[in-house]
Amino acid sequence: MGTPEFALAPLQALLDGGYAAVAAVVTQPDRPKGRGRRLTPPPVKKRALDCGCPVYQPLSVHDGDFHEQMLELAPDLFVVVAFGQILPRALLDIPRLGAINVHASLLPRHRGAAPIQWAIINGDRETGVTTMMMDSGMDSGDILLTEKTAIEPGETAAGLHDRLSVLGARTLSQTLERLQNGTLKRTPQDSGAATYAPVLRKADGQIDWSMPAERIERLIRGMTPWPGAYTFSAGTRLKIYKASVLKREISVPPGTILECFPGELRVATGKWALAVQEIQGESGKRLPIDDFLCGCRLPDGTCLG
C-alpha cells in the first residue's frame, strides 16, 4: 500500500526480493494534475501495472467492498509506505502477520505526514527510516528496525526524500528477512518522547523575516520542492529556493533589503542576514539571483514580507 514516488523503491524491493508474491498493490485514486487538470495515476500505480500487479484504488479504506476484497485476497502481510489513508483496525486485522509500515523518521520523533520536511526545518542533524508494526494510532506501533543517516549541510527536502526512499527499501528488506527467519524483535515506542510532523500547507512556506536567518534558511530547504518558501515585494510573490546565512549584526527592521554589491540580494532577519541565491518571480523561471536582478530591480531599503 503506497502512493507517491517515495514508495517506489520499497515496492521494487518487494518485487525483486523473492520474499513472496505481491498479491496486489493498493494506492490512492487517480487525481487531476497540471494546468489541464488531466486525471493522472499515482507513481505507485504506474510501477505496479508495469510489473503486472493487480491494483486497487479505494476512495476510502473504510469502504465495505474494499474490505471484502482484502478478505478475499487473504494476504499474509500488509506493507504500507506513504499510502495516504489511515487504516482502521478491521483492515489491520486481516493479514495473519500484521501490517508493517516504512516511516521516514527515527520514531517516535516526527510522527505524521511530513517527517522529511520538518526534520530539516527543525534543524535535526540526523534522521533516518523506521519500520514498525502498525496499530490504530498515528505512527505509534512497535519499532522493528531503524537506520540512521546524517542530514547534509544545504540538503533540501527533495534530496533527502530520494535518499530516504532508497534507505527505506533496504530497511524493509532487512525487516522481512528477519521476519522470515524468526529474529525480528519489537520495541514499544516511548510516547513521551514523541514529536509530530503535521501535513504541510502552502501558507507554511511564507517567510517570517523576524525569525533568525538560520531558521529561515532551513525553512527554505525544508519547503523545497513543495510548497516552496516565499515572500512578497509590493504585492508580488517571490519564491526563494536557495539562500545562505550571513553572520553579521543588523540594525534595520527584519525583511529590509540591505545595501550590497550588484547582483546580490541580502535581507535583514531577526538575527543576522540572509543572502538569497536562487529565486523565482510569479510568472518567471527559477533563476540565480544575479540573473533575476537583471530583469527585476529590488532597491536597497525595500521591505519584504
The dotted CATH code for 5-193 is: 3.40.50.170
Integer Cα distance of 14 and 75 in angstroms: 14
Answer for the pair 86, 62: CB distance below 8 angstroms, yes or no.
no
pLDDT tens column, 143-154: 999 999 999 999
Q: Is the pLDDT of residue 11 over 80?
A: yes
pLDDT tens column, 256-305: 999 999 999 999 999 999 999 999 999 899 999 999 999 999 999 999 99
Domain boundaries, the chain: 5-193, 202-295
Q: Is the pLDDT of residue 178 over 90?
A: yes
CATH homologous superfamily of 202-295: Formyl transferase, C-terminal domain (3.10.25.10)
Q: Is the pLDDT of residue 20 over 80?
A: no
> What pLDDT is recorded for position 173?
97
Integer Cα distance of 299 and 233 in angstroms: 11
Task: Provide the mean pLDDT of the chain.
Answer: 97
pTM: 0.96
Q: What is the mean pLDDT of residues 69-88?
A: 97
Q: At what angle do helices 8-17 and 43-50 cross, to 10 degrees?
A: 20
Residue type for position 206? Q
Integer Cα distance of 33 and 229 in angstroms: 21
> What pLDDT is recorded for position 276?
98
pLDDT tens column, 218-230: 999 999 999 999 9
Q: Which long-range contacts (CB under 8 A, 24 or more apart) does 64-69 make?
A: 67/91, 67/94
